[in-house]
Chain A
Amino acid sequence: MTGVFVGMPGESVAYGTGNLQGSRSFPEAAGVALRDAQLRSNLSRATATIRAKRAAAVAELPDWERLREAASAIKTDAMSRLPELLEQLEAAVRARGGNVHWARDAVEANRIVTDLVVAKGARSVVKVKSMATQEIGLNESLLAAGIEPTETDLAELIVQLGHDFPSHIVVPAIHRNRAEIRELFVREIPGAPIGLSDEPRELAMTARAHLRELFLTARVAVSGANFAVAETGTVGVVESEGNGRMCLTLPETLITVMGIEKVLPSWRDLEVFLQVLPRSATGERMNPYTSMWRGVSPGDGPTEFHLVLLDNGRTATLADPAGRAALHCIRCSACLNVCPVYERTGGNAYGSIYPGPIGAILSPQLTGVRNKHDPNASLPFASTLCGACYDVCPVKIDIPTILVHLRARSVDAGRRRPDSEALAFRVMAWVMSSPGRFSRAERLLRLARIFSRGGRIRRLPGPGAAWTMSRDLAAPPKETFREWWTRHGRPVR
């Protein structure tokens, strides 16, 4: 990568690569998504369901706010001594017979995993649902090496069979309804029953039959991790279906790819995260399957374990004190489910596999933003700053404040070559820093009355056209409030 990176000194910082950026800006991609009526109805139904479940699950806990405080404090502490904790984790995993690899970016991580699979002589792998491997594009990399990956999480399998892109962190096929899934299974799963209906149970049984054989024959599994405990070397995955548990226990070799920010200092920290994560993610008191392991245990589970620690822009993110809290994210998706923008556009409009409010602050920090034309430069602006995300975040990431901070970073990057917007904002600040200039500007604004009919402006030229595309604008009144006030001789100070 070359170029000047926003807010970052020099070019020695390693930014993230992989599926963290789309090819179009958010407004462009969102425009397309908004026209998909099926997507809109699927999303609004699904997010409303999860929102209600989460709200009920959280309302049950009298100490919810204290749990959020605790989760936030643990993450802040972990991020403040990340190098030390990662080395402690590495030593603990090695002590229990595991192997640890360090990957600077997606390319390195893919090479490490692919080489390991090739060395085992395996032609296929089974996969546990994992954001880290989606982030680095591991499936594409394995396929290029002639290795067939199979996603075993039902929703992730639906995405894979549809040659699709995940649109949500926890429920990646949220943009599909069951009729669409039925069609996909009939087309893509060999031996799918003739006359398959779109009943969820029938669909699940079809996927189950398809996956069972793979679980029993696979020699290598690949997973992500929800957390790793530095103190004990424990790695953990939480899931709902049990397919993850099969991958984690049946094959001889297990390779786990984990973002470095997932490390927790101590075993007792899990008490907090195992409470806040399922309630925030799926609205369950407890997720059905929690798998935890330390290295390898002879006679039980995989005989070979590899932990790949992935940076891919996380160190760069950590370097910005005002933005680094994005690394506290535990991928629960509560912010996606309450976001009115996400609910209308879906995840694919964000370009990155991390969509929604958290994606809008995480993706641009991981990839770095070179200039305002980078697709990820548009992400911090993909929010009304309504604050719904911050209210539900179980680790209390102040997403609106970080969005504003990243907007400022991108404005600063363009400081030397201001565009028309930057000039307009400079002029406005100059006008508004003087009461006299402000009054004169208000009188000038009144000229807009020439566009009005019946007190309403229905069409504006220039940038105002984006407003009047769908909204009228009340015509500026003949008299400002202050003029009215003065005319009536009312008290001033």
Chain B
Amino acid sequence: MRVGLFATCLADAMFPGVLQATTTVIERLGHEVVLPQGQTCCGQMHINTGYAEQARVLIEHHATTFESALQSCDVIVAPSGSCVASVRHQHIAATAQLPALAARVREVAAHTFEFSEFLVDVLGVVDVGAYFPHRVTYHPTCHSLRMLRVGDKPVQLLRAVGGIDLVELPDAQVCCGFGGTFAVKNNEVSTAMLADKMANVLATKAEVCATGDASCLMHIGGGLSRLRVGVRTLHLAEVLACTRDGGHTR
């Protein structure tokens, strides 16, 4: 299968390791990964902050880029629940009044998958041959859970990792408080939510808090770093990319 990687602007600019890991895992499973040229940003932040008009330009750009990628790729995969949710839900809602664009947006949306969905639903794989001998807890991202309904797919993938000591995160389904511009516009409430999320992470005594979205990673990771508690944050893909012979190093 040929996979077109939807890099997402945040991961491309800030978390290249997440995308390298995503590529490593998919290639290890025997599939080809290509990077569709011209991709920028899906417009989620513009949509969610109320800049609908500007978002439409980005939606159209996204549709154009990935529509042409689909001529040679079977699927589009992104290691981000919220970017995929934006493409599958918000792009369709935002173009409801523009039938020509809506048809293209639907075509792209129908072929776009979040990383854990792609592995479990499309490839039918749970054990990706990873080895990660650390105590890990998992924060399931809001949009993966409640917009994409990925359920426990990320946890199924983690359970199959060799050597892992996977511990359940208390109140796992509660938002970490990021919410895009919410983290800045309502920084105090955001911080209060983050404080509770971090307290739950620390209660698990995990060395690593894994999650499925660069945005949660940036938020929870930024908070834990400030506390100097020595708990690392990693994307699910970064955990799955690790093998017994050190197959992936960031």
Contact = CB atoms under 8 A, between A and B. Distances in A.
Given A435-B40, A484-B20, A345 B189 contact: yes
A429 B73 CA distance: 27
B57 A493 contact: no
Interface string A254-278: 0000000000000000000000000
Given A344-B189, A344-B192, A480-B13, A433 B183 contact: no
Contacts of B11: 481
> Could you say which of A382, A432, A481 has the most chain B C-beta atoms within 10 Å of its C-beta?
A481
B35 interface: yes
A429 to B, nearest CB: 3
B170 to A, nearest CB: 12
Nearest to A342: B189
Given A386-B142, A426-B54, A435-B39, A482 B189 contact: no
B146 interface: yes
Given A429-B46, A480-B13, A480-B16, A34 B188 contact: yes
25 contacts: A34-B188, A34-B189, A384-B175, A384-B182, A385-B179, A386-B175, A386-B179, A388-B174, A390-B146, A404-B47, A409-B50, A411-B51, A411-B52, A425-B49, A428-B45, A432-B9, A433-B57, A433-B61, A467-B183, A470-B226, A480-B13, A482-B12, A492-B34, A492-B37, A493-B36
B14 A31 contact: no
B179 A384 contact: yes
Contacts of A388: 142, 146, 173-175
B154 interface: no
A391 B146 CA distance: 8
A387 B142 contact: yes
Interface of A: 26-27, 30-31, 34, 340-341, 344-345, 380-388, 390-391, 401, 404, 407-412, 421-422, 425-426, 428-429, 432-435, 438, 442, 445, 456, 458, 463, 466-467, 469-474, 476-477, 479-482, 484-485, 490-493
B19 A481 contact: yes
Contacts of B14: 474, 476-477
Given A432-B43, A434-B40, 20 more contacts: A27-B186, A31-B188, A340-B174, A384-B179, A385-B142, A385-B180, A386-B146, A388-B146, A404-B90, A410-B50, A412-B50, A422-B51, A463-B184, A467-B222, A472-B223, A474-B15, A481-B16, A491-B33, A492-B34, A493-B73
A477 B188 CA distance: 28
Binding site of B, secondary structure by majority: helix, strand, loop or mixed? helix
Contacts of A480: 12-13, 16
Nearest to B65: A435
Given A340-B175, A484-B16, A492-B34, A429 B188 contact: no
B83 interface: no
Contacts of B194: 470-471
Given A385-B48, A470-B187, A438 B219 contact: no
A485 B48 contact: no
Interface in B54-70: 54-55, 57-58, 61, 68-69
Contacts of A485: 35
B192 to A, nearest CB: 5
Contact of B12 (A408, A421, A481): A481
| Contact size range, B | 35 or more
Interface of B: 4, 7, 9, 11-17, 19-20, 32-41, 43, 45-52, 54-55, 57-58, 61, 68-69, 72-73, 90, 93, 142-143, 145-147, 173-175, 177-194, 196, 218-219, 221-223, 225-226
B225 A472 contact: yes
B1 to A, nearest CB: 14
Contacts of A491: 32-35
B21 to A, nearest CB: 11
Contacts of A26: 186
B179 A432 contact: no
B223 A470 contact: yes
Contacts of A380: 50
Nearest to A380: B50
A384 B191 CA distance: 12
Contact of A341 (B36, B38, B193, B226): B193
B195 to A, nearest CB: 8
A410 B190 CA distance: 22
A81 B146 CA distance: 32
Given A384-B177, A472-B226, A476-B14, A482 B191 contact: no
Contact of B72 (A345, A383, A493): A493
Given A472-B226, A479-B16, A493-B73, A425 B37 contact: no
Contacts of B190: 384
A237 B186 CA distance: 37
Contacts of A493: 4, 34-37, 68-69, 72-73
Given A387-B142, A408-B52, A482-B35, A432 B184 contact: no
Contacts of B33: 490-491
B12 A429 contact: no
Nearest to B193: A340
A381 B192 contact: no
Contact of B49 (A407, A466, A482): A407
B48 A341 contact: no
